[in-house]
Amino acid sequence: MSKKIQIKRGLKVGLPTLNEGELGYATDTKELFIGTASGNVRVSEAQYSLTISTGDWTQETTGDFVDNYKSVKTLTGLVSTDNPTVDLDLTGKDKFSIDGYISDFEKVVGWEVTGNNEITFYALEQPTQDLLLHIKVVK
């Protein structure tokens, strides 16, 4: 006879302090936690999808990066100490459009988490296509 394993789940803010060895899953941030003697510890990676539309870019007019572009996006679950990796989603792109799509992504020269739930992308030129991105944060 098989037994069913149940994991506590709910919104991250509502997860209780877990017993040592007990698992909890945050349904809003897609994070897995395990209870330890010192409290809940995150044991998973968070994965997100994000689209930067062509209209999301603003041109910098002051500072060291005049004439460059940035896009500030909200990403619920991201925390200011996260260091995400970003990949371009090529799903649905055919061999005739993929080169231009990759070239647009190459205009993006960096990103940083600029606050809780916020990530900022920087580009030397404004991309001419919407960019669908996969973002992964190992916690």
Kindly report, residue by residue over 65-101, the tens digit of the pLDDT.
Answer: 667 999 999 998 888 888 999 999 998 888 888 999 9
Mean pLDDT rounded to a whole number for the chain: 90
Question: Are residues 98 and 79 part of one domain?
Answer: yes
pLDDT attached to residue 117: 94
Q: In whole angstroms, what is the distance from residue 46 CA to residue 44 CA? A: 7
Structurally, the chain folds into a number of domains equal to 2
Domain range enclosing 90: 46-138
Question: Are residues 118 and 63 part of one domain?
Answer: yes
pLDDT attached to residue 131: 96
Kindly state whether residue 3 falls inside one of the protein's structural domains.
no
Residues of the chain falling short of pLDDT 50: none
Question: Are residues 112 and 77 part of one domain?
Answer: yes
pLDDT attached to residue 43: 84
**8: which strand partners?**
24
Prediction pTM value: 0.69
Question: Are residues 129 and 61 part of one domain?
Answer: yes
